[in-house]
Chain A
Amino acid sequence: MRRRHTTWLALFAALMMVLAACGDSTDDTTATDDTEASTETTAAAAEPFRIAIVAPSASNDLAFTQSIVDAVDVIKGEMGNVEVAVTDGTFVVEDAAAAIRGYASEGYDLVIAHGSQYGGSLQEIAPDFPEVSFAWGTAADTFGIANVYSYEAASDEGGYVMGVMAAALSESGTIGVVGPIEVGDAKLYVDGFAAGAVAQNPAASVNINYTGSFGDVALASEAAQAHAAAGADVMSGTAQMVVGAVGVADEQGILWFGTQANQTSLAPDIVVASQVYHWEVILRDIISNLQSGKLGGEIYSINLANGGEVIEYNPAYALPDDVKQLAEDTIAGIVDGSISTGG
C-alpha cells in the first residue's frame, strides 16, 4: 500500500473532517498512476520494508520532488513488499523536521529527507533514532553520523549534454536559462549547461536568469519572456517553477530542454530532451546496505556513468541525427572522462 500525507497544519486536518464524506482521502494513489493497484496483492504476511519521503514541493511537480517519488515507486515495483509514505509540500523546514521525526518514531526503515535545506534538522533528529536509516539529498555530507546517507546528482553532466545540443540547435546563438536561486542542484545544472553550450559554440551567448524563487511560476514565465525578447531561440531551466517558462517557450515556439524529470508532457512540440534522475540506482545500494546492517555513512552520486542520470529524448520532436549523435558522443565522452563539464 502506498500512503500520502500532506501536512497542511491544523486547519487542513479540520477540512479533512469536513470532507469525511469523500472517504479516507489520506490513503491515496497518484491519479495518473495505474500500475499501482497490482502490487498490493504481493503484500504477504511478511513485514513490509517501509520507506518515507519528505520533500519540499509537490510529488508530481515534474521536477525535483517527483524524481525521488518516481524512484521509490520503481524500488517498490522491484521489491514488492514495500510500504511508502510521502509528505510533500514541506517548503517550511520546521514542518519537514516534524514529519521526519514523525516517520522515524513510527519506525520506518528508511527516511528520505529530499531537500538540502533539511540538513540541519536531520543533524538533530538522526542521532535520536539510531535504528532508523536516513538519506539526505541533494548533499554530499553525512555529518559523520553513522545512520545518515547522503546523495546528490551530478546534474552538471546532463546539463552539459543539454547545453551542447542547445548550442547546436540554436540559430540565433542566444540561449536562455531560467533558474531559481543559485544553489545546489540548480547551480550545478545551469553551470554544466552553460559550459556545454559554450563548448559547442564559443560565440553563443547564454543568458542566465535566476528569478530568486523556487515557487514563483509567474516570474519564471516572465523571465522566459525576457529571454525571448533578448533573442533566445532555445531555453532551459530547472526547479519546479519552470512550468511557467515552458508555457512561454511553447507559445513562442522556442525549443526547451528539461531536467529533473521528463517534461515532454508539458509541451510536446518544443521539448527536445530531458535529463531524468533515476535515484533508484543509488537507492538499491542503500537498501542492500540497510539489509546487511549498514545504516549510513556513505555519500552517493548519480551520474551518466552509473545510469542515475538518463537523457530522455522527446520522440515527437524530430531531432536531427547529427545533433543526436553529438549528444551521444558527449555522453560517452563524459562517461569515459575525456570531456570535463568544467565543474
Chain B
Amino acid sequence: MNEFFTQAILIATVASGIRLAVPLLLASLGETFGQRSGVLNLGVDGIMLLGAFGGYYTVLKTDSVWLGLLTGIGIGIILGLVSAVISVTLKAEQGISGIGIYLFGLGMSDLLFQKLVGTPRPVSSFPKLDIPGLSDIPILGEMLFQHSMIVYVAFGLVPVSMYIINRTTFGMNIRAVGENPEAADSLGVSVVRTRYLTVTIGGTLAGIAGAALAIDLGIFQQNLTNAQGFIAIALVYFGAWRPAGVMGGALLYGFVNSLVLQFKTLGIIPRSWSDIAAMAPAIITILALVLVARRFRQPAALTKPFTRGA
C-alpha cells in the first residue's frame, strides 16, 4: 500500500493527469469561446476526430509532428467555419446540428483511416521539452516541466483566453453577443461576425486537441477520442464558461483518472471494483464542478440563433 507514496509514482500520477487533461483543455477552451458568444457546438468530438486523423496521417506521411499539428489546425478552421455556417447563418437547432457534425467526423475519420491507412501504424510523437531551469526543480520540475510542447501550449492558452475574453474589445463583443445579441446588434456589433469568429476559434482548438491527442499517442484508431469532445463540452458548463474554471475541470478530470489508474495498477482499488472506479472521474468531476458552477449563470443567449428585428 505504501508503494503509492513513492516519489516516482507520485510524479508519474501528476504528469499523467496533466497529459490526460490536455486534449480536454484545448477543446473546452475553444468551446468556451463559442458558448460565451451564444453558440453551442456539440460537434467538438467530430472535429477532434478529423483533426486527430488529419494530424496522424500527416505525421505518417511526412514524419513532421509540426506539419501534423498544422493539418489539425487547418481541419479545425474548416470544420469550425462549417459549424458556423450551420448554426449562425442557417440558424439550425444547435443541439441537433452539432450531433450531425459529430457523426460526420466520426464516420469520415474512420472511412479515411480505412482507405488511406488501414491497419494502425505508429507515428512519431511530440518531442519532450524540458523547460530550462524549471525542469531541474526536484519533483515539481519532473511533474510539470518535462512534458511535450503541446502541453505548455494548452496551458499557455488559458491566460491568453482569459485576456481575450475579459480584457479586449473582441472579448467584450463576445460577452455582449452571448448575453444579449439584440443589444449588441443595436450598437453595431456584428453578431454574425463575432459568432463566426468564436465558432471558428472553437473548431480550430478542437482540431488542435484532436491532432495533439493522436500525435501524442502516436497512433490513430476508429473513434480515437472516445467521446472526449463531449466531456469537453460538459467541462465548459461546469467550468462556468471561464477559462480558469475550464482548466480546473480538465485538470480535475485528468487527475482523478490518473489516480484511479494508478490505484488500479497498484491493486489499491480491487479488481472487482474496477468497472465502477472507471466512472469515478466523470462522477467526481461533475459533482465537484456542479457545486462550483451553481453560482454562475450560463450566457443568456446560449443556443439561441439571432435574427435581427425578431
Contacts and interface: CB of A to CB of B under 8 A. Distances in A.
Interface stretch (B8-16, B26-34, B66-74, B286-294): B8-16
B13 A60 contact: no
A209 interface: yes
A222 interface: yes
Contact of B110 (A30, A89, A213): A89
A112 to B, nearest CB: 19
Contacts of A227: 265
Which DSSP category, helix, strand, loop or mixed, fits chain B's interface? helix
B274 A182 contact: yes
A195 B299 CA distance: 56
A208 B271 contact: yes
Interface string A199-228: 000000001111111011111011101111
A222 B219 contact: no
B223 interface: yes
A29 to B, nearest CB: 10
Interface stretch (A5-13, A274-282, A332-340): A5-13
Interface residues of B, number: 54
A11 B100 contact: yes
Given A15-B107, A25-B115, A250 B122 contact: yes
A84 to B, nearest CB: 15
Contact of A6 (B111, B118, B266): B111
Interface string B222-246: 1110101000000000000000000
A265 B16 contact: no
A226 B10 CA distance: 10
Interface residues of A, number: 57
Contacts of B77: none
B120 A209 contact: no
Contacts of B106: 8
A181 B19 CA distance: 23
Contacts, number: 169
Interface in B23-54: 23
Given A12-B104, A210-B274, A230-B265, A217 B221 contact: yes
A59 interface: yes
B274 A230 contact: no
Interface of B: 3, 8-9, 11-13, 15-16, 19-20, 23, 100, 103-104, 106-108, 110-111, 113-122, 125, 213, 217-219, 221-224, 226, 228, 257-258, 261-262, 264-267, 271, 274-275, 277-279
Interface of A: 4, 6, 8-9, 11-12, 15, 25, 28, 30-33, 57-62, 66, 89, 91, 176, 181-182, 207-213, 215-219, 221-223, 225-230, 240-241, 243-244, 246-247, 250-251, 265-267
Given A181-B274, A182-B274, 18 more contacts: A8-B106, A28-B114, A31-B116, A32-B119, A60-B120, A207-B265, A207-B266, A211-B261, A212-B275, A218-B226, A221-B217, A222-B20, A225-B16, A226-B262, A227-B265, A229-B12, A241-B221, A247-B217
> Shortest 4 CB-CB distances between A and B: which pairs?
A212-B278, A229-B12, A8-B107, A31-B118
